[in-house]
Amino acid sequence: MSKVAVFGAGSWGTAFSVILADAGNDVTMWARREEVAAAINDTHENPDYHPGTELPHNISATHDIEKAAYGADLVVLAAPSQTLRKNLTDWAPFLPKDVPLVSLMKGVELGTLERMSEVIAHVTGAGPDRIAVVSGPNLSKEIIRREPAAGVVACADEDVAKTIQARVHSPAFRPYTSTDVVGCEIGGAYKNVVAISTGMAAGMGFGDNTQASLITRGLAETARLAVQLGANPMTLMGLAGLGDLAATCSSPLSRNRTFGEKLGQGMTTADILASSHQVAEGAKSSHSLRELAAKVGVDVPLAQYVDDVVSGAKTVGEILDEMLERPTKAETE
């Protein structure tokens, strides 16, 4: 049985470990806290993120980086996007050489404005033929319940994408391949921002028309930025674009939509963060995506408005007025 090392024992890292285990891999998870690793080994359960769900017996966990990485022929990275660089700097010396590195993160790094695959490349020295990303409509609580789902494995090297595809194809998870890493990453990062805006609308009491309008205009923004960065526009029509966007914007399981709902109800970012230990990636990616778009000359009003509310610069009422007063354009602009 082939070994996969999964670095990160949060909600999505745990759920993806189940996919890998069900696909026939021997999985070792690295957990930041020793007590989480012990619970996974002793009770076959992750009590912090998926209490009550039994994990397959071919999943084990450790707090020891070297032990997690030893003998792995595939490495999966599942850290929060804004801490990936720091985490990966610690992990990199122990990672096996020349094995594929798979990113589960959906974000753009603050400051550097780098996508997660770029962070991985800079920290590890890995080339594009070793770095892959997994994206799609993959809410972790549904994945771990083994509800049918699909996703995309993207890598510049199509053969590597196909190899990883075979390793993650489980009875409940159907992976497709792509060579458009940029499109998959921008789609995955941007949908979190759009989900916050949709949640804000719901929190303010607005219905389906408002939310559908935000989702659609959010997709247009996503496509404008992704294409400017070199992505294939068709990627944004697929699982890593529209599929991920639909799930994240509409599901009550979505952390980003829930974050937006609370903003729409009048809570501050500080209040929301204090009430939950789970990360809404869009809260920080709204700023980095806004800056990235400005850098390449792309108009992204939705990211701008979300960033303004998240940062406390403006209220939801103020940005609503600004949105409605914006000049209208052709739909394709």
pLDDT of residue 279: 73
Is the pLDDT at 309 greater than 90? The verdict is yes
Domain residue spans in the chain? 3-179, 182-325
**What are the CB-based long-range contacts (under 8 Å, 24+) for 267-272?**
268/312, 269/310, 269/311, 269/312
What phi, psi does 234 have (nearest 5°)? -70, -25
When pLDDT is averaged across residues 126-138 and rounded to a whole number, the result is 98
266 three-class SS: coil
Superfamily, domain 3-179: NAD(P)-binding Rossmann-like Domain (3.40.50.720)
- Is 191 known to be catalytic? yes
When pLDDT is averaged across residues 182-190 and rounded to a whole number, the result is 98
When pLDDT is averaged across residues 66-83 and rounded to a whole number, the result is 97
pLDDT of residue 330: 83
| E strand or H helix that includes residue 224 | helix 208-228
Binding site for NADPH, by residue number, is 11-12, 32-33, 49, 106, 140, 255, 279, 281
When pLDDT is averaged across residues 35-40 and rounded to a whole number, the result is 97
pLDDT of residue 276: 78
pLDDT of residue 329: 82
pLDDT of residue 328: 86
When pLDDT is averaged across residues 323-332 and rounded to a whole number, the result is 85
When pLDDT is averaged across residues 181-198 and rounded to a whole number, the result is 98
pLDDT of residue 38: 97
Whether 76 and 20 have beta carbons less than 8 Å apart is answered as yes
Q: Which of 191, 262, 314, 329 is catalytic?
A: 191
**Parallel, antiparallel or unpaired: strands 131-135 and 149-155:** antiparallel
Is the pLDDT at 332 greater than 80? The verdict is no
CATH code at 182-325: 1.10.1040.10
Is the pLDDT at 333 greater than 80? The verdict is no
Is the pLDDT at 17 greater than 80? The verdict is yes
Residues 253-284: tens digit of each pLDDT:
999 999 999 999 999 999 998 887 667 899 99
| Among the listed residues 68, 132, 147, the one whose alpha carbon sits nearest the alpha carbon of residue 99 | 132
Binding site for sn-glycerol 3-phosphate, by residue number, is 106, 136, 191, 244, 254-256
Distance CA 99, CA 2 (A): 12
Binding site, by residue number, is 8-13, 32-33, 49, 106, 136, 140, 191, 244, 254-256, 279, 281
What phi, psi does 26 have (nearest 5°)? -90, 120
Is the pLDDT at 109 greater than 80? The verdict is yes
Phi/psi-derived region of residue 265, left when phi > 0, alpha when psi is between -120 and 50, beta in every other case: alpha
Tokens standing for residue 308: 């303004």
Is the pLDDT at 331 greater than 80? The verdict is no
CA triplet 88, 115, 228: central angle to 5 degrees? 170
Distance CA 138, CA 330 (A): 33
When pLDDT is averaged across residues 230-244 and rounded to a whole number, the result is 98
Q: The tokens 């997660």 sit on which residue?
A: 116
Confidence of residue 115 (pLDDT cuts 50, 70, 90): very high
Confidence of residue 163 (pLDDT cuts 50, 70, 90): very high
Rg (CA), the chain: 19
pLDDT of residue 269: 94
Mean pLDDT over all residues of the chain?
96
Is the pLDDT at 171 greater than 80? The verdict is yes
| Among the listed residues 49, 83, 108, 86, the one whose alpha carbon sits nearest the alpha carbon of residue 282 | 108
The strand ranges marked E within 117-201 are 131-135, 149-155, 173-178
Binding site for NAD(+), by residue number, is 8-13, 255
